Structure 1
Amino acid sequence: MARTDLAPQRRRPARAFGGPGWGQAAGALSLSLSPVFIELSGADAGTASAYRCLLALPVLAPLALPEFRREGRPPRRQLLYGVAGGALFAVDALLWARSITEVGAGLSTVLVNVQVVLVPLLAWAVDREHIPRRFLLWLPAMIAGVVLTGGLLEHGASGSDPVAGTVHAVLAALSYSGFLFLLRRGGFHGHVRTTYTVVILSATVVSALGGAAWGALDLTPPWHTLGWLALVALSSQIVGWLLVALNSPRLPSHTGAVLLLLTPVGAVLLGAWILGERPTLAQWAGCGLILVSAYVTVGGRRTNPRDDGSAESP
């Protein structure tokens, strides 16, 4: 029996920087605003994670309503993808924020961005999606760029509890990769906005429960905190992740994962511009290496018809 409800349909090979590629890149750059706004809000992990999702729901629900009326209720499997993906997003947000204080921002950022490896591996293992040689050849350069951009070579692993922080960062990386995989897979057969709204609803509930359990949830944050978190909801949940949800199902998994590396690059640039941070020469070099690797990997001209990374239905 054909698994037409489980696997992605065959996609026509396309250049990554046309259509969905630009949408994915715009989403990744929108996400880079979130760390800046969260820093300005002064909110702890549980509060930031719960409210950035909660404040997005009044906008996402009306956006999903026309799709729901047109296409009806999503299949149960897609709803399960949404619930599980939202839970993984919340776990990632909580663990990553905690790991920053325990092991330092550099190592936690590097570990979380191993999604560039894990997401294509998941797509290969579950959907039998082809991974092109060009991506594999440039993968070490991309990882080196992430290491440099995270400032790990200058600061190393620092914090209150490096062992616990490393464990939390690794678990955050696994959760983040699982979230990206389910977010992409949930959009293979339509109902994207409806499923994404389920993702954010699930993330709101799990973030609130997890934040309360960790003692990191403020139910009555001050108004200035809510204002900054509303900007996080706009830039991340309403614009950034919705663009990723809409465009990543139309891209090979490795392409979507590479384009998401624009998020730490954007965060470095915005941190320097808005927060007055001073990136080191190594961090600027890491940003450049990520940009070059991304362009060469997903934007260059392809000569091998099997090198487009398109998935095939089993």
Structure 2
Amino acid sequence: MCYWKASGSVGGVQRIDPRLLAIAGAAFISVSAILFRLSGVSSGTAAFFRCALALPVLAPLALWERRRAGPRRHAAADVAAGLLLGADLVLWGASIDRVGAGIATVLVNVQVVVVPLLALAVFGERPSRRFALAVPVMLGGVALAGGLAGHGTGADPVTGIVFGVGAGAAYAGYLFLTRVAGRGQSHRAQPVLLATCGAGAMAVALGAPWQGVDLAPGWAALGWLAALALTGQVCGWMLIGAALPRLRAEEGGTLLLLQPVLAVAFGAAVLGERPGALQIAGCALVLAAVRLAGRALGGRRASRPGTVPVRDDSAAGTAARPRMGART
């Protein structure tokens, strides 16, 4: 069902409002942090199973798509993007353990700063003055949201912020590569499959020596991880990957801001996380900065390969995708 909605090669998807697809994708991904916490496993274990359990669903879809639309070009770029996504997932999970599911999802949106800097370095695209004004607002909001001013929902807000910002940087690289590789192509399942393979490999390479990857976490944990794979890695990324290429950067980024907002709400409702007033203010500053930066980027269409809209944990589909605006 998700594939029918998300595949650009299926004629019916063109009749679906891309804003609805983006909202649905953001809703799917917004529960990723909650499912990770409910699984009770390490971030490396969650990242690995998130990818591994998605493969049995993605593989036949990608094969079907290949038969209909032909092979995917730029496959190496998809795998490289997946390696960055794997680093994002592991770091993001470590951030969740330290600052809480909702706040970690807000923190990862620092990618909105990194993506335009990559576009500047690679394609010479200069950020606007409005974007430059958004950067200090973003950083101040990150500090407040992480609990540096006092009240925090996690045990180690400073380390949680470091991991969250690192996840956002890795996620930005993922978004940048997938956007460049995906221009002019209608494939949906194949790039998600290739990126998922790369992410799973990085989850083992990074997560195993750091926290360990438990290959037998128990049936209860596997159930939560299977739900994470289907919602965050399959449905969320494919829906967003189908929607954002059809939206203006500003519009897509704004819609995806639903993701961190929903993540904070779900964290409070399901996990009992209660952000303090300053953390809520920090979240508002982050979202305001993302909105401001998104308007700066969205003033012109993505006419060059390096121009990418604002995210997204998660990190995780074809993210002009994943991802841009909000998350893993």
How high is the TM-score relative to the length of structure 1? 0.75
How far off its partner does 1:311 sit? Answer: 1.9
The answer for the alignment partner of 2:109 in structure 1 is 113
Instruction: Return the offset for 1:152.
Output: 3.8
Match of 2:321 in 1: none
Q: Which residue of 2 aligns with 1:14?
A: none
Q: 1:57 aligns with which of 55, 58, 68?
A: 55
Counterpart of 1:201?
197
**How far apart are residue 132 of structure 1 and its match?**
5.1
- The alpha carbon displacement at 1:136 in A equals 4.7
1 or 2 for the larger relative contact order (CA 8 Å, sep ≥6)? 1
Give me the whole-angstrom Cα distance separating, in 1, the residues matched to 2:27 and 2:144.
19
The answer to which of 109-118 and 187-196 deviates more is 109-118
Q: Are 2:169 and 1:177 equivalent residues in the alignment?
A: no
Q: Distance in 2 between matches of 1:21 and 1:298?
A: 16
Say if 1:186 and 1:192, in contact at 8 Å, map to a contact too.
no
1:119/1:256 CA distance change after superposition, 3 Å: farther
User: 1:92-140: CA deviations, max 9, x gaps?
Assistant: 2223333556x65599666532101111222343345575555555555
CA separation of 1:147 and 1:244: change in aligned 2, threshold 3 A: farther
Residue 302 of structure 2 aligns with which residue? 310
What is the percent sequence identity of the aligned residues? Answer: 44
2:258 is matched with which residue? Answer: 262
Greater C-alpha Rg? 1
Deviation at 1:276, TM superposition (A): 2.4
Gap runs ≥5 in structure 2? 1-15, 307-328
- Structure 1 residue 41: Cα displacement: 0.9
Residue 86 of structure 1 deviates from its aligned partner by: 1.1
More displaced stretch, 215-224 vs 287-296 = 287-296
Q: Give CA-to-partner distance per residue, 1:133-167, whole Å, 9 cap, x none.
A: 5555555545545544444433479867957x666
CA contact (8 A) 2:145 2:282 kept: yes
Residues 255, 84 of structure 1: alpha-carbon distance in 2 compared, 3 angstrom cutoff:
farther
Q: Distance in 1 between matches of 2:201 and 2:147?
A: 33
Aligned residue in 2 for 1:219: 215
Q: Residues of 1 paired with 2:18 and 2:140: CA distance? A: 26
Q: Which deviates the most, 206-215 or 217-226? A: 206-215
Letter in 2 for 1:192: R
Give how far 1:26 is off.
3.5
| Structure 1 unaligned spans of 5+ | 1-17
CA deviations over 1:248-302 (Å, ceiling 9, x no partner): 4445666655654433222110011112222323344444555566667658xx9
Q: Which amino acid aligns with 1:307?
A: G
Match among 179, 187, 199 for residue 182 of structure 2: 187
- In structure 2, relative to structure 1, the CA distance for the partners of 1:166 and 1:293 (3 Å cut) is closer
Q: How many residues were matched structurally?
A: 288
Deviates more, 1:151-160 or 1:120-129: 151-160
After superposition, the CA RMSD in angstroms is 3.7
Cα separation, partners in 2 of 1:292 and 1:142, compared to 1, 3 Å: same
Cα 1:178–1:93 change in 2 (3 A) is same
Amino acid at match of 1:46: G
Conserved? CA contact 1:20–1:251, under 8 Å: yes
How high is the TM-score relative to the length of structure 2? 0.72
